[in-house]
Structure 1
C-alpha cells in the first residue's frame, strides 16, 4: 500500500499544472491572439474611422482573411481537444460550481467557485463568438451581416476581458504561485493529453473539411443558341439556368454594407456567359466629371477630403462597377488581396492605407471589371488581373503604385481615355492641383446634357454613360470654351473606338431598371493570353459590387465553384 503524500508534497505538486493543460493554455492564448489581430484588420477596413485606428500597431498585414480562417480551424481543434481531455481525465469537476463553495467560510474555496463561474462566463462568450463567426462565414444568407459582425467583434473583445478576469480570479484564489504554475509542468495525465491531441486534430480537420465542402457549385447551362450580351436576361437559356445567390458585405454607400448578387452561367460553343444581377437604388454613371469654374476647369475628385480619387478612395463622384475574380485556387480571393497600410515593404505605401492586390506565389487571378461609364459604352469589361507585384519605379509610381493589380495590355487609343493631359506618373500633368485643360469639348453641349441627364449630384440616377463618344467631341478651343457657362459639368472621359488588345477580351453589357443592375459577361473558355485564367470545370469565382465608389466594394470569402456542362 502506497503511503499518502505529506502535506508539503501535496502543496508542492499543486504548484504545477499538468502538461496537457499547460500546452492547451499556451496554444489557446496564441491562436486567440492570432484570430484577434487578423480579424481586427478586415473589421477596420470596413469601419469608417473610429477607435480601431489606435490599434493599428497590433494588427497583422497581408493575407489576413486566410490567416483568420486558419486561426478558426485551430481554435476549433483546441476546443474539441479540451472537451475530450476533461472527459478522459474525469476532470469535469473543474467546471462544477457549487452553492456550498460560494458560501464557504474559507476564502480560497469561495474564489475557486467564483473562478469556475468565470469559466462558464468565458465559455458562453466563446460560444457566441463561434456562432456569430459561423453566421458570417457559412450562413451569410441569413442577412444582418453588419450587426452580426459587430457581435462577433464585441465577443472577441469580451474574451480578452475574460482572460484578464480569469488571471485576477486565479491570483486572488491562490496567489502568485497559482499563476506561475501554468508555466511549471508536471508530467501526468499524459494519456488524457494524447486523447486531447487526437481529438484536437480531428476537430481541426473536421472544420477544414466543412470549410472545403461549404463552397457552392454554379452549374452552367448548355445553350442551344448564344445569348445576346445586353444585360436583359430575356434569352431562353437564362430562363432555365441555375441561379446561385452570393451574399456579399462590407460595401460602402449600401445600407448595412450588404449586396446579394444573383449569378447564372451558360456555355455555348467555345464561350462562357455569366449573368449577374444585384440591387442598386441609383444608376450611377458620373465618374470624376470636369467642372467649369471662373478660374477654369477642375476635376471633381471627391467632396470629402478623406475620400478622394487622388487618395484612391473616392466615394461620391464615381460610377457603379462590378468585378468577377477567377482563379483555379480556392484560397480567399485566389490569394490576391493583402490588407494593411504597408503589406509590401520596400515600395510606396497604398494611398488609401487599406492594402494591395497581388499574388505572392507567381500565380494570376483573372479579373473581369465592368465599369458603367468607362467600359459600358463600348459593351465591354476591362480584362485585368492580380499578379506578382510589378517592379517599383519611383518616377512612374510617384503618385500611386499598383502592386499586382493591372489591366491587360490595351491597344493604343482604344477604349476609354482621360479627357486631360497626363504626366509620366499617369496622373494629371498639374497634379496635385485639380486644375486641368480638357483635351476635348462637347460638339453639342445641349445634346450631350440631354443624354446624360440634368442631375449634377453623384447620389442620383444619371441618364447615360458619363463619357463622350467619337461623334460628340471636338478638340479643345478657347473660343468654344468661352461659350460654356460656369458651373457646367462635362465628362472626364472620351472614347473613339472600342477597347482592343488583350484588355478587350471580355464582352459585357449592363442594364439598370427598377433599382437593379443586370450585367452579362462573355469570353472564350480558353485563356486568350498568358494574363488570363482558362475557364475550366472547377474554377473558382468571387464577385464584388461597387456602389458609385472607387475601391469600397462588397466582397465575400467563400468562392463559388463553376461547373461546366459535359
Structure 2
C-alpha cells in the first residue's frame, strides 16, 4: 500500500496553527466566562487554564498571525496556490462526480476558514487596541471562533470522504516539496528565437516533417549520433556547448524559509507597534486658582483646556444589553491635587440599591442576585478607577484571577466568576457609587493578597472577596438591612435596620417610584435615608407603614474618615451621560494608595445598575504628569 504524504512545509504550518488556535480557544473560553450569559462555560472549569490567561491568549493570537502570514507566503512561493484556487472549474466541480465535488467542497471550506480567521484576528486586534472595541467586535470575535471549530470538523470529514484514513494521516507523513512548474520567461523566449534565427537553415524531409541536417536521423530514433552536435540549444545556454554558464541566473530560496522570515518580520513589527502606541493620558499643570469645582459641571475652564482621552470599554452588564460604553477622561493637577473628569454613556440614572418593598408577609429586599453578590437589577450605577505602578499590558492576570475556585483552600466564588487579588503589592482602586457618592466621597479601596475568609464567608453566607478590601477607615453608608447568620443552618434576610420617620417625605424624596430596572430615576431624586430622617426598626413603627410601600436600601450616617476618605468627588447625570469629577492628592502617603505620577497606569470601568458586571478595556492608560 502506498502511503499518501504532504510536503513538510504544510505539515509544520498546519500543526503550528492547530496548537496556537487550541491555546487561544481554551484561554479565550476562560476569558469569556466573564460575560454574564456565558457562565455555562464553567462546566469545563477543570480543563480551562487559570494562570496567566490573558498573556497566553495574546501570545497564541500572535502565533496565529505569524502562521497566517507564513502560510500566505508559502502558498505563493511554493506554487501551491492551486490547492485553494477558487475558480470556475471548482464551482463546476460542485455538480460533477463525487471526487470533483468533494474537492470543490474542501476548497470552499478553506475559504470559509480564511474569512473566519481573518475576522477573528481583526476583531481581536480591535478589542486589544481599543479600535471599535465594543459589543460588535466582541460578538464577531465570539462567532468567528465557533465557525472555525465547525470548519475543523467538516474539514476532517471531507478529507476522510476523499481518501479515508490514508488521506487523513498524510498530514503526519512529510515529503519534499515538489518543484513548481517553470514559468516561461519572455527574455529567455526572445533569446531562444534569436539563436534559432541565426542558426543554418534546415531542410525538411518530405513526408515526415523533420528537419534534415547532418547527424539528424530520419528513422524516428531521436538519439544523436556520436559526434553530432545540435544547433538548437536549451534556453539560457550558449550555442557553444552544454558546459556554458546560464545567462540569467536566479536565486532559489526555500519557500518555508522565506515564509518564516516574513512571519517573523511581521510579528516583530506588531510587537514594536504595541510597545510604541501607548495609550496616554496627559495631566497638565494648572494654577491652584484654576482648580475645577467638584459639582458635576463640566464647564470649568480647566476641563476645557485639558486634552481628552477616549476609551471604549465592553464586557459589562446591562447598558441596554450591549454591555459597552465609551469613556472620556480629562485630568489636570495643581502640584498638590490631581483632578479627573470622567464622562461615560449610561442610558439610565440608576440609584436604587436593594430597595425594600413591604408585602403582606413582611419586607422583601428587591433583588435578583443579592445572595450570590451578583445583582444586576436593583443596584446603583457605579464607576471604578484602578491605579498600578506595574507596567502591565494585561493587568487581568495580576489583579483578577478567573475560575469559580481560583484560590486553593479559600471559599469558592458564589458568582461563578473569579476573584480580585494581587500578590505583587497593592493596587489602588477607587469606587464611586451613584447613591452614596452624592455625599461627596469616592470609596478608596485596594486589591491586595488574598484575605482570610470570615466565618460567614467560609460558610457561603456572604460572598468571599479575595483580596479586595476598603482602605483603613470608615465610610458614611451602610445597607439598610442585615443578614442574620447561622453557620449551621444558613442565613435569612431580616427586617430593615431603620424605618422612615415620615413615610410621605421619604417617598417624595425618592421621586416617582418605578421598580422596572431598565427605567432610570428622576433628576433630583435620591434613594437613601439619613439617620436624622429615620428611626431604628420596631414592630410598632412598622405597623404604621402601609403594604406596598417602598423605602431606600441605603442609610447615610457619619463621615468618611481615614485612608478610605482620600478621594473626593461629585457627579451629575444628564442626557444619557454621567459626568464625574474627582480629586485626590498626588501622593497621600498611604501604603494602600499609588502616587499619581508619570509612569503610573490607569484602568477605568463603568457599572450600569450592576453590582460586579463592569465594563473593561485591555490596554492600560499611561499617566504623563506635567511638572
- The verdict on a shared fold, with TM-score over 0.5 as the criterion, is yes
Alignment of 1:413-424 (within 5 A): 414-421=475-482
Alignment of 1:79-158 (within 5 A): 79-97=68-86, 111-112=102-103, 114-138=105-129, 140-141=131-132, 145-158=134-147
Q: Indicate the RMSD between aligned Cα atoms, in angstroms.
A: 3.2
Q: Deviations over 1:295-339 (max 9, x none)?
A: 443433x1xxxx311111111211111111122333334531223
Partner of 1:368: 430
Q: Deviations over 1:227-258 (max 9, x none)?
A: 22222123210111111222122332212222
Q: CA deviation at 1:368?
A: 0.7
Q: Which structure has the larger Rg over C-alpha atoms?
A: 2
Stretches of structure 1 lacking an aligned partner (at least 5 in a row): 1-7
Q: CA deviation at 1:102?
A: 7.6
Partner Cα distance (1:51, 1:422) in 2: 29
Q: Does 1:327 pair with 2:388?
A: yes
Q: Does 1:37 pair with 2:26?
A: yes
Partner Cα distance (2:380, 2:122) in 1: 37
Length, aligned pairs only = 541
Q: Does 1:406 pair with 2:469?
A: yes
Contact 1:77 1:202 in 2 (8 A): no
Q: CA deviation at 1:75?
A: 0.6
Q: Deviations over 1:349-369 (max 9, x none)?
A: 21111221123x423321110
Partner Cα distance (1:160, 1:460) in 2: 41
Partner Cα distance (2:499, 2:87) in 1: 83
2:70 is paired with a residue whose SS is helix
Contact 2:483 2:492 in 1 (8 A): no
Contact 2:335 2:586 in 1 (8 A): no
Contact 2:352 2:553 in 1 (8 A): no
Q: Does 1:461 pair with 2:521?
A: yes
Partner of 1:205: 268
Partner of 1:5: none
Q: CA deviation at 1:163?
A: 1.8
Say if 1:475 and 1:113 are closer, same or farther in 2 by CA, change over 3 A.
closer
Contact 1:248 1:258 in 2 (8 A): yes
Alignment of 1:42-53 (within 5 A): 42-48=31-37
Partner of 2:494: 435
Q: CA deviation at 1:175?
A: 3.1
Partner Cα distance (2:18, 2:24) in 1: 10
* Equivalent residue for 1:253, pick from 318, 332, 355: 318
Partner of 2:507: 449
Partner Cα distance (2:362, 2:335) in 1: 53
Q: Please give the TM-score of this superposition, normalised by the length of structure 2.
A: 0.78
Partner Cα distance (2:70, 2:139) in 1: 28
Partner Cα distance (1:371, 1:465) in 2: 12
Alignment of 1:335-374 (within 5 A): 335-359=398-422, 361-374=423-436
Say if 1:534 and 1:186 are closer, same or farther in 2 by CA, change over 3 A.
farther
1:384 is paired with a residue whose SS is strand
Partner Cα distance (2:379, 2:490) in 1: 19
Partner of 2:578: 517
Contact 1:221 1:237 in 2 (8 A): no
Contact 1:62 1:343 in 2 (8 A): no
Partner Cα distance (1:465, 1:341) in 2: 36
Partner Cα distance (1:276, 1:161) in 2: 43
Stretches of structure 2 lacking an aligned partner (at least 5 in a row): 179-252
Partner of 1:269: 335
Partner Cα distance (2:89, 2:479) in 1: 78
Contact 1:396 1:424 in 2 (8 A): no
Say if 1:79 and 1:51 are closer, same or farther in 2 by CA, change over 3 A.
same
Q: CA deviation at 1:67?
A: 3.3
